[in-house]
Amino acid sequence: MDTTPVDREAPKIEYCLYARKSSEDDERQAMSIDSQVKEMTDLATKDGIVIKEVREESHSAKESGQRPVFAQLLNDIRNGRFTGILTWAPDRLSRNAGDLGMLVDLMDQGKLLQIRTYSQIFSDNPNEKFLLMILCSQAKLENDQKGLNVKRGIRAKCEMGFRPGMAPLGYFNRAFNGIKDIIIDPDRGPIVTKAFQKVADEGTSGRTLKKWLVEKGFTNRSGKPISLSQIYLMLKNPFYYGEFEYPVGSGSWYKGSYKPLITKNVFG
């Protein structure tokens, strides 16, 4: 009986090249999609890897299930169309726990045989899967920290009296020498003040006020006459007497560092 060991050929891996970049601030320094495709195609040629298909996507990987191309890639791996992924770096595939978990599950099931990046190879073995999870978790940690830093920065601005976002009609956002502040619009500001006074002193209705504003040539920022709904929003906005809530509905109130157009008594 012949007991000579039989050399079993390793299964051929069917690769899909996946390239991704989003327009978010923290992605702007990432390599472009075209550059990712070129670098990984050159690597594949050098290492004798056959790329079955190239797929590109311009979406954030911060949240799970938000990338249609990536979701289709996972489905195709489940159905046996691909057994390997080529991508520039692990964070191109996942920056959240949900997508990372699906990738590892596919490896555990033997459906995803290999993830290959420009500098690393991750196969279905404990050490390489653990390293993949560490690298993707690091990308998630960076996302979470950036989110906290952004929220902290916004809160600090609010405490300094500067409300994030565009100032309401009657004010301008201004940036000077890197410093941002809010100043009164010399054209609209006095009219806004008078509008509040007409409501407070004369009991002017919204429709009558709209007619008066049209006669004054008062427009919104697009140059169109202000609508009735915009007037009601303006009259309900405490920003004009020097206070604002941010985010709206949060219960967090701040005193503005800008000059109020009306008093709190006029606001009513």
Residue 2, pLDDT score = 57
Residue 247, pLDDT score = 87
C-alpha dist (Å) from residue 165 to 151, 173, 180, 246: 14, 9, 11, 10
The separation between CA 73 and the C-alpha centre of its own chain, rounded to angstroms, equals 22
pTM beyond 0.75, yes or no: no
Residue 143, pLDDT score = 65
How far does the chain reach from its first CA to its final CA, in angstroms? 101
Name the percent of the chain in helix, strand, coil, to the closest 5: 45, 15, 40
Residue 211, pLDDT score = 95
Residue 40, pLDDT score = 95
From 158, 156, 167, 166, select the one nearest 261 (Cα to Cα): 167
The DSSP letter of residue 219 is B
Q: Chunked in runs of 10, what are the mean pLDDT values of the chain (268 residues)?
A: 56 93 67 92 94 92 86 96 95 88 94 94 92 82 67 84 91 82 94 96 94 94 92 95 91 93 93
Taking the C-alpha atoms of residue 72 and residue 105, their distance in angstroms, rounded to an integer, is 16
DSSP per residue over 241-260, as a string? GTEEESSTTS--EEE-SSPP
At 91 the three-state DSSP class reads: helix
